[in-house]
Amino acid sequence: MRYDIRLTVEYHYPAASDHVRNILRLLPSDSSRQRVRQRILTISPRPDERREGVDFFGNATTLVAWHRPVGQLSFHLRAEAERLAEPEFDLSPPLPALAAQRAVGGLGPASPLHFCAPSARIGASAAIADYARAALPESPTAREAVRAVGEALHRDMTFDPTATDVTTPPDVAFAARRGVCQDFAQMMIAGLRGLGIPAAYVSGFLRTTPPPGQPRLDGVDAMHGWVSAWCGADQGWVEYDPTNGQWAGEDYVTVAWGRDYADAAPVRGAIRTSGPQDTHHKVDVIPLP
């Protein structure tokens, strides 16, 4: 499926900031299941510094800074990308045999060894690991285990945008049984790592479908987070969305991935201002012929 992708992110500051520095991960890139035909990121006001790069995990990065007072910022993405379907076959080994395959392929960015241990935002959690273990069917393959944990979280957790914020640890969200897509994904990653399955956080865009008979509205698609899990040398990486209880297929466009949200956050940075900032964003993922 090919898409015309349009994103606008706006920040408004009550007092103009005289120091703003950001790292942006907003540009989608090619991957094994994705081809990006074109992409452009426009920033207003024009930054005094701008540097394009690629981080360790292969994510496109844009480093920007302003050395003058800034009262608002706007980031505008326009891209065309083709997304391939998630493979439906299961080539993964039985779950107990997965650990023996993790050292295959060295220590490159996609090595599963980077995604086994606790990370900055996803610590080890006995409660989540026990929950993941209880969700497993008898003698599962690695891929079956991924689906079982994702389905359990989708069933048992409540989507609630008021329950957490961007800094909430996954064990806190798990105890409340509430959260948003970031929380669902990081809880699932904690559970999979507790089972010995390497798991990564993925950020990107999700195409949404209006109710039957309703027109498609502008700006209502979503910036989203889901999970990529390594299921053996033959299966490789698979992607699952616990928020919606499904494999991440053709409706998902990947922008960045990493050990947790911190590695894949669309916008990170530092400002010097006073009062709370106001943020708005809108996304359109428009199918192309």
Separation of alpha carbons 81 and 88, rounded Å = 22
The amino acid occupying position 194 is: G
pLDDT in tens, the chain (289 residues): 999 999 999 999 888 877 889 999 999 999 989 999 999 999 999 999 999 999 999 999 999 999 988 989 999 999 999 999 888 899 999 999 999 998 777 889 999 999 999 999 999 999 999 999 999 999 999 999 999 999 999 999 999 999 999 999 999 999 999 999 999 999 999 999 999 999 999 999 999 877 677 666 565 688 999 999 999 999 999 999 999 999 999 999 999 999 999 999 999 988 777 667 788 899 999 999 8
Residue 49: strand pairing partners: 65
- What pLDDT does residue 216 have? 61
Tell me the one-letter amino acid at 97: A
At residue 65, the pLDDT reads: 95
Instruction: Tell me which of 2.60.40.2250, 3.20.20.70, 3.30.413.10, 2.60.40.10 is the CATH number of domain 2-83+266-287.
Output: 2.60.40.2250
Confidence (pLDDT) at 217: 59
Model pLDDT, residue 270? 80
Distances (CA, A) of 146 to 60, 69, 199: 27, 48, 9
Indicate left, alpha or beta for 134 from its phi (over 0: left) and psi (-120 to 50: alpha): alpha
Q: What's the pLDDT score for residue 277?
A: 76
Would you state the pLDDT for residue 87?
83
Cβ–Cβ under 8 Å, residues 61 and 47? no
Is the CB of residue 284 less than 8 Å from the CB of residue 6? yes
pLDDT of residue 227: 98
> What does the alpha-carbon distance between residue 88 and residue 277 come to, in Å, rounded to a whole number?
43
Residue 56 burial (10 A CB sphere; 0-12, 13-18, 19+): exposed
Structure confidence at residue 167 (pLDDT): 93
What distance in Å separates the CA atoms of residue 30 and residue 79, rounded to the nearest whole number?
12
**Cα-based distances in Å from 62 to 3, 73, 205, 258:** 22, 15, 18, 16
Residue ranges matching CATH 2.60.40.2250 in the chain: 2-83+266-287
Structure tokens, 186? 């990081």
Q: Identify the CATH assignment for 95-264 out of 1.10.10.10, 3.60.20.40, 3.40.190.10, 3.10.620.30.
A: 3.10.620.30
Q: Which residues contact 243 (CB under 8 A, 6 or more apart)?
A: 154, 159, 180, 181, 184, 185, 224, 225, 226
Residue intervals of the chain classified under CATH 3.10.620.30 are: 95-264
Give the model's pLDDT for residue 85. 86
Q: What's this model's pTM, rounded to 2 decimal places?
A: 0.94
Distances (CA, A) of 152 to 146, 147, 243, 258, 286: 10, 8, 10, 23, 31
What gap in Å lies between CA 242 and CA 217, rounded to an integer? 25
Name the nearest CA neighbour of 60 among 34, 9, 22, 25. Answer: 25
**Separation CA 178–CA 176 (nearest Å):** 5
The confidence score (pLDDT) of residue 211 equals 66
Secondary structure of residue 80 in the 3-state scheme: strand
